[in-house]
Amino acid sequence: MNQIADRYRRRAEAFEQKIAAVRPGQWSEQSPCAAWTARDVVAHIVAMHAAMLRPVHRDLSPAPSVGDDPLAAFLAARVDVQAVLDSPELAETECDTPTGQMSVEQQIDEVLSDDLVLHGWDLARATGQDDAMDPGDVARLWSSALAIPADLMEKCRTPGAFGPGIEVYGPEVTVPDDAPLQDRLLGLLGLDPR
């Protein structure tokens, strides 16, 4: 099987479990992202699934809205993206991205799949769940984050640089050099691990 598809499947499953564990009264809880509630975190992830389908001229399948049923909305979006990853023809389609041209599956891997890990932490924090990330995912994301050129990282920290209302990373949060790698990753990407 394809490593990218497998990684997405594993991370989507973990995110799905976090959604399923949210109690009804918790959807309005504040997430570590200042502008988002727990429900907003899921809405962002579903919107990112839709964005990953555009290069292959697809839309999300009809499904309940995140406002009505966050889990059902995510499950439907997940099926749509998995179908693209499972089709070599669609997965290998080249697309333009803010960081250059790449295959659709590579964009899904570097953007959406990574988002599932990071925003899984946000959702867990907002709703009192275990917020430990998979150590292998943390190491992979840490390596990827360190490889981002300084000028691109600066652009990622600039609100609106990739379009109105889009903020990729916040200002770096200082954490001790001997902090766990997960905390250092979160701090580097502008999230306060505390």
Contact 54, 128 (CB under 8 A): no
63-113 pLDDT, tens digit per residue, is 999 999 999 999 999 999 999 999 999 999 999 887 789 999 999 999 999
pLDDT higher than threshold 90 for residue 148: no
Report which of 78, 75, 71 is spatially closest to residue 22, judged by C-alpha positions: 71
Contacts of 129 (CB under 8 A, 6+ apart): 18, 21, 123
State the Cα–Cα distance between residues 54 and 73, nearest whole angstrom.
18
Q: What digits encode the pLDDT tens for the residues 12-45? A: 999 999 999 999 999 999 999 888 999 999 999 9
Confidence check: pLDDT of 169 > 90: no
Q: What is the pTM of this model?
A: 0.93
At residue 26, φ and ψ (nearest 5 deg) are -95, -10
Number of Cβ atoms within 10 Å of the Cβ of 11: 21
What was the pLDDT predicted at 92? 95
Q: State the pLDDT at residue 122.
A: 96
Give 49-61 pLDDT, tens digit per residue.
Answer: 999 999 999 999 9
Q: Which residue has the higher pLDDT, 13 or 162?
A: 13
DSSP structure class, residue 30: B
Say whether pLDDT at 184 is over 80.
Answer: yes
Q: CA dist 69 to 60, 73, 82, Å? A: 15, 6, 20
pLDDT given at position 170: 84
Task: Report the pLDDT averaged over residues 163-171.
Answer: 77
Q: What is the pLDDT of residue 71?
A: 98
- Measured on CA atoms in the order 118, 123, 125, 131, is the torsion positive or negative? negative
Mark 89-115 as b/e (b = at least 16 C-beta within 10 Å). Answer: ebbebeeeeeeeebbbbbbbbebbbbb
Q: If pLDDT is split at 50, 70 and 90, which confidence band does 171 have?
A: confident
Q: Work out the average pLDDT over 145-161.
A: 85
Phi and psi torsions of 101, nearest 5°: -85, 140
pLDDT confidence of residue 80: 98
In the chain, what are the domains? 1-131 (1.20.120.450), 133-194 (no CATH)
16, 108, 19: which is closest to 58 by C-alpha? 108
